[in-house]
C-alpha cells in the first residue's frame, strides 16, 4: 500500500461522484402499495394511520389511478369485511361475488397493466380473527390450507396477478401452487409471506380491518421475533414448494433477516414496511421531530440496502413523488 493518506471522502465530493458509487437505489417500480377496502359508501379515515383510508370501490379506482400516475404499478388489496359475513370457516374468502373478487375485476377492467396482488389468509373473514380455522381453541393447519386454496382460486378467477399467502400455515405454498396449476392458472405468481413474525408492529393494520384475534395471539403460526435461522428454513421450504417471491415482514426491525434471506436464495425478496412503522414515522413527522420526506426515504433505502427487491409500503405513492422531484 502506498504510504499516503487514505481519503474515502474523494468519492463523496459531489452529487455526480456520489451517484457513481451509490450501492442501493430506490425507484417507484420497486414499490407495492397496500390499500384497504370496505363494502360501504365513501372513504373512511383510519385514525392510527394518518393519510390512509378504508376505500370504497370508487375510491379504490381513484387510488389505483393515482398510484399509476405516480409510477407505482402494483397494489395489494386488504378487505375490511362486514361483521355479519364473518364465520368460523371464513367462507366469504372464496365468495365469487365478494368484496375482493369484485375489486379485482374492477381494477383489471379499468387498469389492465396494473399488477393486482391479493392477500390469502382467513383473518379478515373469520369471526375468530385468526389466519386459520379454529378447532377446540387451536388453529388447525391442513383444513386451513384447503380453505386457502379455495380463496386463491377465487382470486385467480377474478384476475389477480399475484396471490400472497400471509397465513404462515405449513405447506400452503405448495398446495396453492398445485391448486392454481391444476386449474390452469400457471401464470399467477405466488408471493409468499415466508418470514412473517409475531410482531407488535401490526396494531394499526388490525385497527384498519378490525381483524385482531378474538382470543389468544398468533404465536403458534407466526415466527418468534428472536429467530433468524428459522427464517432460512422457511425460505428453503417456500422455494421448494414453488414460491415466486419470498417476503420478510416487518421490514425495519428485521433488516438482518432480509439480508440473511437475500443471501440464501436467488428468488426475488420482498419486505413489508408495516403499519406500525408507518404510524411511528407519521407521528414523529407530525410532531416536528423528524423530516418526513428524508426519514421515510432513508427507511426505504435501508430496506433496499439490506437486500429487498420489492417493498410493500403505505408511503409508496409519496416516496415515488419525492423520488421524481429529486
Q: Which residues are catalytic?
A: 196, 249
Helix or strand (DSSP H, E) at 237: helix 229-241
Instruction: Name the burial class of residue 234, with classes exposed (0-12), middle (13-18) and buried (19+) by CB atoms within 10 angstroms of its CB.
Output: buried
Cell (9 digits) for 180: 392454481
Measuring CA to CA, how many Å separate 295 from each of 40, 52, 218? 35, 19, 31
Radius of gyration of the chain (CA): 20
- Three-state secondary-structure class, residue 98: coil
- Helix-helix angle 57-70:316-325, to 10 degrees: 30
Q: Is the peptide bond before 210 cis (omega within 30 degrees of 0)?
A: no
Amino acid at each position: 500500500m502506498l504510504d499516503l493518506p487514505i481519503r474515502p471522502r474523494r468519492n463523496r465530493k459531489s452529487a455526480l461522484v456520489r451517484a457513481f458509487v451509490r450501492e442501493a437505489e430506490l425507484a417507484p417500480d420497486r414499490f407495492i402499495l397496500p390499500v384497504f377496502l370496505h363494502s360501504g359508501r365513501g372513504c373512511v379515515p383510519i385514525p392510527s394511520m394518518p393519510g390512509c383510508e378504508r376505500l370504497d370501490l370508487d375510491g379504490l379506482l381513484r387510488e389505483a389511478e393515482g398510484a399509476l400516475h405516480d409510477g407505482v404499478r402494483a397494489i395489494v388489496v386488504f378487505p375490511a369485511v362486514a361483521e355479519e359475513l364473518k364465520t368460523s370457516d371464513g367462507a366469504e374468502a372464496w365468495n365469487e361475488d365478494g368484496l375482493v373478487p369484485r375489486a379485482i375485476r374492477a381494477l383489471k377492467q379499468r387498469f389492465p397493466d396494473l399488477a393486482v396482488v391479493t392477500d390469502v389468509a382467513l383473518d379478515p373473514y373469520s369471526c375468530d380473527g385468526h389466519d386459520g380455522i379454529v378447532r377446540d381453541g387451536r388453529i388447525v393447519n391442513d383444513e386451513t390450507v384447503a380453505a386457502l386454496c379455495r380463496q386463491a382460486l377465487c382470486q385467480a378467477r377474478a384476475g389477480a396477478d399475484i396471490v400472497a399467502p400471509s397465513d404462515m400455515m405449513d405447506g400452503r405454498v405448495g398446495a396453492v401452487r398445485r391448486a392454481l396449476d391444476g386449474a390452469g392458472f400457471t401464470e399467477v405468481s405466488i408471493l409468499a409471506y415466508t418470514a412473517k413474525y409475531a410482531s407488535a408492529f401490526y396494531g394499526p393494520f388490525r385497527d384498519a380491518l378490525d381483524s385482531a384475534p378474538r382470543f389468544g395471539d398468533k404465536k403458534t403460526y407466526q415466527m418468534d421475533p428472536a429467530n433468524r435461522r428459522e427464517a432460512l428454513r422457511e425460505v428453503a421450504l417456500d422455494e421448494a414448494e414453488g414460491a415466486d417471491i419470498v417476503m420478510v415482514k416487518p421490514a425495519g426491525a428485521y433488516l438482518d433477516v432480509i439480508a440473511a434471506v437475500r443471501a440464501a436464495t436467488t428468488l426475488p425478496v420482498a419486505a413489508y414496511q408495516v403499519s406500525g412503522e408507518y404510524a411511528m414515522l407519521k407521528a414523529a413527522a407530525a410532531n416536528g421531530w423528524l423530516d418526513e420526506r428524508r426519514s421515510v426515504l432513508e427507511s426505504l433505502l435501508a430496506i433496499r440496502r439490506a437486500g429487498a427487491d420489492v417493498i410493500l409500503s403505505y408511503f409508496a405513492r409519496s416516496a415515488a413523488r419525492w423520488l421524481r422531484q429529486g
